[in-house]
């Protein structure tokens, strides 16, 4: 009897599918297929097209069923990106971290100077109780209130939470429970990180009232280290550029210009001395670019180093959470607190972080992208002087080239649509609901158009692009096995995209100013999971040049 019922159920299902296919038949035709072939660079015969129709009817029905299910942005795909080259040897030795001695730090005569003190300097003042966390927190909150109308870098002040955490920090320190250099230090985060009880707007009009009642792992780790969250900072809408639903975030060095993005508010606020450091994210330049424009130091860690739990997803295989600060040692202090597993984000690797500020450049093999540096580009003069300074510091610079595909006509930019495909999936509901029309930026070079056009990227091409990405990962490992790190122009050539695809870490540091008086930078690229080396090398450069000590006059 059960078997009869089972057979009847199968027949009924077949009849339902047949009805569904008949309904879809009116909307799928051979002419549709012909038109679509142009978009995917294929050419079928009429008989082949006719054979495809039934499958296409079924696929369309499947898609419509899928679209009835609302998949939240926080749900990752079951398929995960693997940035680890074949035969990669993970570092496994944890050495003591060696930071500068900040014990000679004194309170400035003019308290406004505190705005540009490093984390290490502020930490000593707090530990020695020359200033309280509450005083420092109120100081930075007042600066955020004063200068935000000029810079448009704040989405939400977390003042009530900050006062609570600052008082707690002071009580802990007074009782002898000092947690380390971040204890009592105010900070800001890019507004794609959730904080319970506060809006998480993603910088975009459709989400400007969104409240996600959880707190991102990065924020939790910073607060567990004693940090005090004072603001959720602006970001280009859905992590593109510096335009958000409240306007354009400004560059403190020239407030007529945007700050770049998408970690727009993080870079702008740090540059103007509104927070000692801020958390940003990068998928393709979103830490490097605003750090360059605003003259800050920025760390983009290795893919899989920092938890993305509680962060807006744009590209599951490219998103990375990092830090923007005044100095590279500040970056190291913060990175030590935020890196590591959280038992939720399954893309994380548990690898030691080693940092020694007494690193010897002469003992390292340091590559540089000679062809890129030899080109004609806006930062060329300052980059050339930076290379000279590196040599003066004892570095032997070895010319290297980035990996190339065997097919000369094929560029790394040819697989950049990996990001577009994943971003379109992350914001699928936004596109299908037509709420993408609410985003401030429209037109060709904006997310709404990219999301729509990405719907025509075939799954086969997305997978094959990732297979080519696998080749790049193996080739990069061959290059990195011969050197300890390399230096690159921040914006020139394929380096920025390529290393975001392969997951390599980078540190971007100021190296001068343009003729217009705005900052310039260059970049250190490290081995996978070797943030410590590039941070220490960058510190040597900063200590020898002092560009990190220069600040925009309007905000002093």
- Write out pLDDT tens, residues 188-227: 999 999 999 999 999 999 999 999 999 999 999 999 999 9
Which positions ≥6 away from 77 have C-beta within 8 Å?
316, 425
Distance in angstroms (rounded) separating the CA atoms of residues 244 and 242: 6
**pLDDT confidence of 25, banded at 50, 70, 90?**
low
- pLDDT at residue 365 in the model: 98
- Give the helix/strand (H/E) hosting 214: none
- pLDDT at residue 406 in the model: 86
Q: How many CA within 13 A on the CB side of residue 421?
A: 17
6-10, 164-168, 211-215: range with lowest mean pLDDT: 6-10
Contact 264, 258 (CB under 8 A): yes
Q: Is the pLDDT of residue 12 over 90?
A: no
- Residue length of the chain: 556
Helix (H, G, I), strand (E, B) or coil at 179: coil
User: Which stretches within 102-151 are classed as H helix?
Assistant: 119-127, 133-151
Q: What is the mean pLDDT of the chain?
A: 95
Q: Is the pLDDT of residue 14 over 60?
A: no
Q: Is the pLDDT of residue 482 over 80?
A: yes
Alpha-carbon radius of gyration of the chain: 25
For range 314-332, the mean pLDDT: 98
**pLDDT confidence of 9, banded at 50, 70, 90?**
very low
Q: What percent of the chain has pLDDT over 70?
A: 95
- pLDDT at residue 27 in the model: 77
Of 235, 228, 424, 219, the closest CA to residue 307 belongs to: 219
Distance in angstroms (rounded) separating the CA atoms of residues 548 and 200: 31
Q: Is the pLDDT of residue 10 over 60?
A: no
Q: Is the pLDDT of residue 8 over 70?
A: no
- End-to-end CA, the chain: 85
For range 379-393, the mean pLDDT: 98
Whether residue 262 has a cis bond before it, omega within 30° of 0: yes
* Residues 41-63 as b or e (16 or more Cβ within 10 Å = b): eeeeeeeebeeebeebbeebeee
Give the Å distances, CA to CA, from 260 to 28, 192, 263, 286, 446.
Answer: 43, 17, 8, 8, 14
Backbone angles phi, psi at 229, to 5 degrees: -75, 120
Q: Is the pLDDT of residue 5 over 50?
A: no
Which positions ≥6 away from 270 have C-beta within 8 Å?
276, 277, 278, 294, 296, 324, 325, 326
Count CB neighbours of 176 within 10 A: 6
* Residues 375-397 as b or e (16 or more Cβ within 10 Å = b): eeeebeebbeebbeebeebebeb
10-24, 54-68, 478-492: range with lowest mean pLDDT: 10-24
**pLDDT confidence of 3, banded at 50, 70, 90?**
very low
* Residues 250-266 as b or e (16 or more Cβ within 10 Å = b): bbbbbbebbbbbbbbbb
Q: Is the pLDDT of residue 4 over 70?
A: no
- pLDDT at residue 148 in the model: 98
For range 253-265, the mean pLDDT: 98
Contact 315, 308 (CB under 8 A): no
Contact 266, 190 (CB under 8 A): yes
**pLDDT confidence of 18, banded at 50, 70, 90?**
very low
Tokens of 349: 């690797």
Q: Is the pLDDT of residue 107 over 70?
A: yes
> Domain 115-349+359-402+468-555 carries which CATH code?
3.90.1300.10
- pLDDT at residue 26 in the model: 61
User: For the chain, what are the domain ranges?
Assistant: 2-66, 115-349+359-402+468-555
Contact 267, 282 (CB under 8 A): no
18-22, 450-454, 490-494: range with lowest mean pLDDT: 18-22
DSSP 81-113: ---PPTT-----PPPPPB----TT----SSGGG
Q: Listing from the earlier edge strand, what are the strands of the sheet with 506-513?
A: 154-157, 228-233, 186-190, 277-282, 320-325, 297-300, 506-513, 519-526, 485-489, 366-368, 397-399
Of 275, 330, 358, 276, the closest CA to residue 120 belongs to: 330
For range 519-529, the mean pLDDT: 98
The partner residues of 513 in beta bridges, in order of sequence, read 519
Q: Is the pLDDT of residue 20 over 80?
A: no
Tokens 């040819």 correspond to 414
Distance in angstroms (rounded) separating the CA atoms of residues 417 and 441: 20
């Amino acid at each position: 009897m059960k078997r009869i019922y089972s057979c009847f159920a199968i027949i009924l299902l077949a009849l339902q599918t047949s009805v569904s296919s008949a309904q879809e038949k009116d909307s799928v035709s051979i002419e549709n297929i012909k038109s679509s072939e142009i978009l995917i660079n294929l050419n079928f015969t009429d008989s082949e097209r006719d054979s495809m129709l039934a499958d296409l009817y079924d696929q369309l029905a499947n898609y419509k069923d899928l679209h009835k299910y609302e998949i939240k942005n926080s749900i990752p795909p079951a398929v995960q990106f693997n940035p680890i080259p074949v035969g990669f040897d993970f570092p496994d030795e944890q050495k003591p971290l060696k930071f500068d001695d900040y014990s000679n730090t004194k309170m400035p005569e003019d308290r406004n100077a505190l705005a540009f003190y490093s984390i290490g300097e502020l930490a000593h003042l707090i530990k020695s109780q020359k200033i309280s966390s509450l005083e420092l927190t109120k100081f930075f909150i007042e600066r955020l209130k004063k200068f935000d109308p000029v810079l448009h870098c704040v989405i939400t002040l977390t003042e009530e939470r900050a006062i609570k955490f600052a008082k707690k920090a002071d009580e802990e320190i007074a009782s002898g429970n000092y947690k380390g250099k971040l204890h009592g230090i105010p900070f800001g985060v890019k507004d794609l990180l959730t904080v319970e009880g506060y809006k998480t707007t993603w910088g975009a009009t459709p989400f400007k009232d969104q409240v996600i009642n959880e707190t991102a792992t990065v924020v939790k780790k910073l607060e567990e280290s004693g940090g005090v969250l004072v603001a959720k900072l602006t970001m280009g809408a859905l992590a593109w550029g510096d335009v958000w639903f409240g306007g354009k975030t400004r560059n403190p060095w020239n407030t007529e210009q945007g700050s770049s993005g998408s970690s727009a508010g993080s870079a702008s606020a740090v540059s103007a001395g509104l927070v000692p450091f801020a958390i940003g994210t990068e998928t393709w330049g979103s830490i490097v670019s605003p750090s360059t424009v605003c003259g800050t130091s920025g760390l983009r860690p290795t893919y899989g180093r920092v938890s993305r739990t509680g962060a807006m997803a744009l590209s599951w295989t490219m998103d990375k959470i990092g830090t923007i600060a005044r100095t590279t040692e500040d970056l190291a202090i913060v990175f030590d607190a935020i890196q590591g597993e959280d038992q939720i984000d399954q893309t994380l690797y548990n690898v030691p972080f080693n940092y020694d500020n007494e690193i010897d450049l002469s003992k390292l093999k340091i590559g540089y992208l000679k062809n890129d540096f030899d080109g004609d580009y806006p930062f060329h003069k300052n980059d050339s002087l930076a290379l000279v300074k590196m040599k003066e510091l004892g570095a032997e610079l070895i010319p290297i080239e980035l990996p190339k595909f065997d097919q000369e006509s094929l560029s790394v930019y040819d697989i950049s649509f990996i990001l577009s495909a994943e971003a379109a999936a992350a914001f699928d509901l936004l596109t299908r609901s037509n709420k993408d029309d609410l985003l401030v930026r429209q037109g060709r070079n904006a997310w709404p158009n990219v999301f729509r056009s990405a719907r025509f990227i075939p799954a086969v091409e997305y997978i094959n692009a990732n297979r080519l990405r696998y080749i790049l990962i193996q080739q990069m490992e061959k290059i990195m096995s011969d050197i300890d790190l390399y230096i690159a122009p921040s914006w020139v050539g394929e380096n920025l995209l390529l290393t975001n695809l392969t997951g390599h870490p980078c540190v971007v540091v100021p190296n001068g100013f343009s003729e217009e008086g705005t900052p310039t930078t260059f970049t250190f690229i490290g081995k996978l999971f070797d943030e410590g080396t590039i941070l220490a090398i960058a510190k040597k450069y900063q200590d020898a040049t002092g560009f990190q000590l220069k600040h925009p006059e309007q905000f002093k």
